[in-house]
Amino acid sequence: MRIREWDPRSASANEIHSLVETVNAVLAADLPGDPPWRDVQVKDYLAETMPGERRISWIAEDDRVPEGEGEILAHVSILLLGDIGVLEVMVRPDLRRRGLGRELIAVAARRAYLEGFSSIGVEAIGGTPAIAFYESLGFEREYVETRSVLNLETVDWPALTAMANGLGSGYRIEYHPGGPSDVLMEAYARAKAEAQHDEDDLDLTPRSSDPQRLRDSLETLHRRGLKPYIVLAIHEATGAVAGLTEVVVPAQHPERADQYDTIVVREHRGYGIDRAIKARMLFELRGAEPGLGQVQTWNAQHNESMLKVNAELGYESDRDWFEYIADVTQLVQRLESS
């Protein structure tokens, strides 16, 4: 088996297609209910990053075949952002338990160490071999959230209409496909900043709460093939963004959308904003994305209010998602000594 650094920007069409096959093999084993990936804007998805961030990737392939001509059997990437490196590891199910995952993490951890990073984070899906694997390497569990999935075919649309119209007086709802206008960006950023004080996760996918950073984030989503839809609750007396909800439809699996932030600014809570904006979003998605079948969202287990709102909308809890962290120096030492 050969492991080599790999740049998706210069990858061949055959390599990208092979990587998608590996992604789908992993999904079939670990998340059999999830839609398979399509070979659409995959190179963009892998290559594009936010300003100031870098993603470095490696692949494993059969060393009996010339580079670039065989199948991609495993893949690891590390996204270097802030003071943490974020790992993503995929190994074909039929090649697991042979030490390949350890080799891939060792390569990525060594690079993070040489780049001066002190911590590595990774997400692991509950009920999969990843949990025992990362814990065996010394990763420590830091945060747990629950994924819930909404099937649009089972939505009670009349009930959803009542929720969408259940907004307190003094507020209005606005729909912004692609992202809010530049006029609203400052107010949008202030509302986004609210969430940074309410969550205690590892920020493996950190939020942007600076206006320019938000612009960069939206542009990066578009370049990666992720189409954002945003619904805002506006406080009419002040023009402030009182609440927001964001959904992204990926070109790689357009049948299932990803719910990003849903935020209600503290001083505007208690006016039905959370239900109203999420219900309105579902109506907009039904019209804008006729091929969409599901929406998935992740919530901290202690966030009882949002879990209740999601249940009222029809979301059903699916899997727990775990965030792990490891000290880079200790991880490198552990992997190199074993």
- Dist. CA 257–CA 260, nearest whole Å: 10
Q: What is the mean pLDDT of the chain?
A: 93
Which pLDDT score, from 0 to 100, does residue 200 have?
Answer: 53
In 92-170, at which residue ranges do the beta strands (DSSP E only) sit?
119-125, 140-151
- The pLDDT value given to residue 69: 81
Question: Which domains are delineated in the chain?
Answer: 2-146+323-337 (3.40.630.30), 156-313 (3.40.630.30)
pLDDT at residue 175 above 80?
A: yes
Q: Is the pLDDT of residue 42 over 80?
A: yes
Phi, psi of 116 (to 5 degrees): 90, 15
Mean pLDDT value of segment 275-283: 97
User: Which residues lie closer than 8 Å to 19 by C-beta, 6 or more apart?
Assistant: 11, 42, 59, 72, 75
Can you say how many angstroms the Cα of residue 169 is from the centroid of all Cα atoms in its chain? 34
Which pLDDT score, from 0 to 100, does residue 31 have?
97
pLDDT above 70 as % of the chain: 96
Distance CA 210, CA 203 (A): 16
